[in-house]
Amino acid sequence: MTETMRLQKFLSHAGIASRRASEKMIADGRVAVNGKAVRDMGTKVDPFSDVVKVDDQIVQPADKSFYLMMNKPPKTVCTEKDPQGRKKVGDLLPKHIPRIFTIGRLDYHTEGLLLFTNDGELSQALMKPSSAVAKIYHVKIQGPPDPEIVARFERGVRLEDGTRTKPSPTELLRTTKTNCWYEIILTEGTNRQIHRMFQTMRRTVLKLKRMNYGPLNLGLLDVGEHRFLSDNEVRSLYREAGLRLPKKPRRSK
């Protein structure tokens, strides 16, 4: 006998969208249960006996959760579709697993650690601004190092639109004849934030790579490769998100 669950939770667990986005789909009349459009947020469904459709497409229940890490290559997009026909990160994932989504995104030219899952509850919790998950980036910029970069970034930077960033711990990693590398820790994620931070210093970002996401480290994963997370790594993400730890993650390969 299966347990019923709220419709928005079912959609989230099935990897359709976050719970909040699922609620909007319901409110917009895009979701039907057993042939009838549903707008009531309190609607409950049996995942294995009720027929749920979004935009007239049947939603399959998620009996397994998938958690993957990828070393995203540069010049790839994190969207499912791209009008310009550019390479998508989804093209690099295994074909045998169900639909999964990125936890946040990385820009077209940005590379490094990118997480995927069909666990909508975890994804939504990690991406909440209040979660303040620390993400470590290595940044190559044009020109010599400047102590003022560290000082300003660690105070917080006022961007071109007037918003002010949170203090970002910053460290000079190394220098070359014409460039230098910094390590920056962000606990927020506004659009192209690191690029915009360096623009305030009249510096150009040449390369950007995410090394850590919360408790997870990119390690020795090759560019373009992926691996499934261990149970301990999944639990560490649950702790980071402030969620109740699962006794055993519904994890699969």
Q: Is-contact 105 203, C-beta < 8 A?
A: no
102 by Cβ neighbours in 10 Å (0-12 / 13-18 / 19+) ranks as: buried
Identified catalytic residue from 107, 119, 146, 222: 107
- Chain centroid to Cα 71, Å, comes to 13
Count of Cβ atoms closer than 10 Å to residue 95 Cβ: 5
Mapped to the 3 state alphabet, what secondary structure does 10-78 carry? Answer: HHHHCCCCCHHHHHHHHHCCCEEECCEECCCCCCEECCCCCCEEECCEECCCCCCECEEEEEECCCCEC
What is the C-alpha to C-alpha distance for residues 122 and 133, in angstroms, rounded to an integer?
A: 13
Q: Is-contact 22 11, C-beta < 8 A?
A: yes
What is the C-alpha to C-alpha distance for residues 113 and 115, in angstroms, rounded to an integer?
A: 7
Q: Is 107 a catalytic residue?
A: yes
Catalytic residues: 107
